[in-house]
Amino acid sequence: MQKDTFTLFVKYNRTANEGMNTVIKTLSPEEWDKDLGGYFKSIRGLCSHLYVCDFNWLKRFSKFRDFAVFNDPFFLRDMYSYREVLFPDIGEYLSKRPVLDEKMIAFVDEISGKDLQSSIQYTGSGGTPYERNFGGALMQCLNHETHQRGMISFCLEMLGRDNDFSSFGQVYK
């Protein structure tokens, strides 16, 4: 895997999140919290999970080597619980998601080809230690966003909201 692939993917995720958030900002508080029957119950639950996972992966990557982006006070807090539901209102989510997206882009900007070929050791959410290829772990992190946005898209459709924020073409015009 080459760095350009990760740069494209992280920028796509930011663009797709922006498109998704354009639809999310039209939701009422009731729609934001409505139990739609999935594992994370609501769009709020899914957005929280997506944010938590992205933040937690970045915290794991911060232990790999010294990256300048992780000197930002944004990363002072500990990892979140994976079932933690954040963002009591849509506005808080909409203000914090773009910040996290920019941190992810800054992180990917700092990685090297050597990093992508190296191994990373980390502890999973259940306490299990892992050793994985760094590039593969980063791809898992970035691809997880695609999966969760698909779930959010389905929930938006259940609420009668048109949405289509999945085009890579917006990134590599």
83 neighbors 41 (Cβ within 8 angstroms): no
Residue 172 has pLDDT above 60, yes or no: no
Above 80 in pLDDT, residue 151?
A: yes
Tokens at residue 124, please? 């999973």
Residue 171: the pLDDT is 58
pLDDT for 32 equals: 97
Q: Are 24 and 51 in contact (CB under 8 A)?
A: no
User: What are the extents of the domains in the chain?
Assistant: 3-170
**Quick check: 17 and 101 in contact, CB under 8 A?**
yes
pLDDT reported for residue 157: 92
How many whole angstroms separate alpha carbon 18 and alpha carbon 24?
10
Q: Residue 170 in contact with residue 15, Cβ under 8 Å? A: yes
Q: Which CATH architecture has domain 3-170?
A: Up-down Bundle (1.20)
pTM here? 0.93
pLDDT higher than threshold 80 for residue 169:
no
Categorize the per-residue pLDDT at 173 as very low, low, confident or very high, splitting at 50, 70 and 90: low
Tell me what pLDDT residue 125 has.
Answer: 84
